[in-house]
Amino acid sequence: MADSVQDRVIAIIAEQAVLEPGDVAMDNSLEDLGIDSLGLVESIFAIEEAFDIQVPFNANEPEQSAFDISSVAAIVKAVEGLVADQK
């Protein structure tokens, strides 16, 4: 299941970055991928819709959010956590 969350998150991020999923590396930051603040908010929305979860994220204080967006790997881990919490 973990792979599946990872693949789906990467697909969402890749679409936002206009890249192929294979071009998204786990240690990339969203900035590396050319995703700006609007792209980030759109990605979070897409993740919420895809996994039917609520992502705690306030654009005013991203560093204080419980949702770590520092890298693709961090986002995948955070989404896995939220999906697990929901079960």
Q: Tell me which residues touch other proteins (CB under 8 A).
A: 37-38, 41, 44-45, 54, 57-61
Closer residue to other proteins (CB): 20 or 49: 49
Instruction: In angstroms, give the least distance from the CB of 18 to other proteins.
Output: 18
Whole-number Å distance between alpha carbons of 4 and 87? 16
> Minimal CA–CA distance to 77: which of 5, 4, 1?
5
Closer residue to other proteins (CB): 1 or 64: 64
Closer residue to other proteins (CB): 5 or 69: 69
Instruction: In angstroms, give the least distance from the CB of 77 to other proteins.
Output: 20
Instruction: In angstroms, give the least distance from the CB of 83 to other proteins.
Output: 19
Q: Find where tokens 């992502």 sit.
A: 55
Whole-number Å distance between alpha carbons of 53 and 32? 26
Tally of CA atoms within 13 A in the half-sphere of 5 that contains its CB: 19
